[in-house]
Amino acid sequence: MTAPHTTSRSTRPARPAVRAWLARALVAGMAAACGIVLAQPASAPQAAGTTLAQPSAPPQVVQLGATADTDALVGYWFLPRESAPPRMPGLPVVVALHGCGGLHETSGKADKTNRRRDKADARVVSLADTAVETPVDPAPGLQARYREYAHWLNARGYAVLMPDSFGPRGRMVGLCSEALDTRGIDDKTRRGDALAALRWLARQPGIDTSRIVLLGWSNGAQAVLAAIDASRPWPRGTPAVERAVAFYPGCKRAVQQHDYRLRAPVLLMIGGADDWTPATRCAMLQNAVQARQPDARFRLEIYPGAYHGFDGTSELHVRRDVPAARQGRGVVTVGGDAIARVAALARLDAWLASPDP
């Protein structure tokens, strides 16, 4: 069993220019270890970032079934190419949960995205089907981060299922700017979506349901924590989660839940300078879980100086349109951090490959 771990270096952020220079000097060797292609976005030459490989094949658009508040929960199903490492007896799977911005590109392109989505929805398959026709690739409508992660995981032999919790509910532009208590799509809803995705996987041929990873970012990572909460009942017929990964979740609710326990090992990665979902709360959660479950496998990685969304490639920027920024906390900073990004991907790679996380 791997002992719980917390990165303990100083969390004082360096100047962006200094971090960018350090990134250029250090990141190339680190990237080679976890198969990342380095690139600088043409539109933001000063942004510290790395680019994952592009998707090798279009995803299939699948219908995961009805939930309590939507008739058709849609997901995107990425399968690895034949050249990916073979896995027996079947494919392991990562169920990936998007953040509060949703799965789709929406910045200034809402109408175009909706048109793409309409085309994709026309090709949603029925629950009983296992083969899908995809004459139009729906992936371009998805945010680049999610497409790139899907291919990175495909290259390691994982199938990837990305449920869309917002599109089928008419929330294509996401929920980031809405107050937490008025969003309507909460942890309970997103946990239900994750469980629906797991049940869909149980009906697919060629899948190793003993090797299911639940992964999420931000709001989706918070849903991961809710899904693996052992104090909540687990529905019959739902495959178990073998391990979980949470990128910068909001840990406040789980901390406040006095009976919160882990149902599966978890790797939680967060920036030390995160002023949207503070790392201190996640450290409190780790301590609380370990006090209740001494054998719990809760690994916490805190990346000094990194902000919310550190595993992305966008340039650091300030957001004032989120509830945290409107409730007396000033502003929040989001954006990629090349050093933290590569380190996190290397940790994720090792976590997935470990027989005993």
CATH number, domain containing residue 32:
3.40.50.1820
pLDDT band at 34 (very low <50, low <70, confident <90, very high): very low
Answer yes or no: is 5 within a domain.
no
Token digits of residue 203: 């009906």
Answer yes or no: is 7 within a domain.
no
221 or 133, which is more confident:
221
Per-residue pLDDT averaged across 124-145, rounded?
Answer: 50
pLDDT for res 5: 47
The three-point CA angle 269-138-93 to 5° equals 45
Contact 204, 130 (CB under 8 A): yes
The pTM assigned to this predicted structure is: 0.78
Answer yes or no: is 11 within a domain.
no
Per-residue pLDDT averaged across 241-258, rounded?
Answer: 96
**Do strands 159-164 and 70-78 pair parallel, antiparallel, or not at all (unpaired)?**
antiparallel
pLDDT band at 2 (very low <50, low <70, confident <90, very high): very low
HEC-encoded secondary structure of 64-119: EEEECCEEEEEEEEECCCCCCCCCCCCEEEEEEECCCCCCECCCCCHHHHHHHHHH
Report the chain's mean pLDDT, rounded to a whole number: 79
pLDDT for res 288: 97
User: Is a pLDDT exceeding 80 seen at residue 131?
Assistant: no
pLDDT for res 204: 94
Token digits of residue 15: 């100047």
CA dist 141 and 138 (Å) reads: 6
Q: What domain range includes position 109?
A: 16-353
Answer yes or no: is 153 within a domain.
yes
**Do strands 60-67 and 70-78 pair parallel, antiparallel, or not at all (unpaired)?**
antiparallel
The sign one gets for the Cα dihedral 179, 182, 187, 191 is negative
Answer yes or no: is 6 within a domain.
no
What residues have CB less than 8 Å from 177, skipping those under 6 apart? 321, 322, 323
The three-point CA angle 196-202-204 to 5° equals 110
User: Is a pLDDT exceeding 80 seen at residue 60?
Assistant: yes
Residue 149's nearest CA partner among 217, 199, 200 is: 217
User: Is a pLDDT exceeding 90 seen at residue 249?
Assistant: yes
Per-residue pLDDT averaged across 282-291, rounded?
Answer: 98
User: Is a pLDDT exceeding 90 seen at residue 132?
Assistant: no
Token digits of residue 31: 């990237």
User: Is a pLDDT exceeding 90 seen at residue 229?
Assistant: yes
The region of weakest confidence among 71-75, 120-124, 348-352 is: 120-124
pLDDT band at 47 (very low <50, low <70, confident <90, very high): very low
pLDDT for res 313: 92
Residue 343's nearest CA partner among 1, 27, 10, 103 is: 27
User: Is a pLDDT exceeding 80 seen at residue 341?
Assistant: yes
pLDDT digits (tens, 9 = 90+) for 176-217: 877 766 777 888 999 999 999 999 999 999 999 999 999 999
User: Is a pLDDT exceeding 90 seen at residue 295?
Assistant: yes
pLDDT digits (tens, 9 = 90+) for 79-111: 998 755 556 679 999 999 999 989 988 654 434
Q: How many domains does the chain have?
A: 1
Answer yes or no: is 187 within a domain.
yes
Among 19-23, 55-59, 350-354, which range has the highest average pLDDT? 350-354
C-alpha distance across the termini of the chain, in Å: 7
Per-residue pLDDT averaged across 63-75, rounded?
Answer: 81
User: Is a pLDDT exceeding 80 seen at residue 118?
Assistant: no
Query: CA distances (Å), 181 to each of 11, 102, 178, 275, 331, in order?
Result: 30, 18, 8, 20, 20
Instruction: Read off φ and ψ for residue 6, nearest 5 degrees.
Output: -130, 125
pLDDT band at 134 (very low <50, low <70, confident <90, very high): very low
Answer yes or no: is 304 within a domain.
yes
Say what percent of the chain tops pLDDT 70: 70
Answer yes or no: is 283 within a domain.
yes
Per-residue pLDDT averaged across 117-123, rounded?
Answer: 39
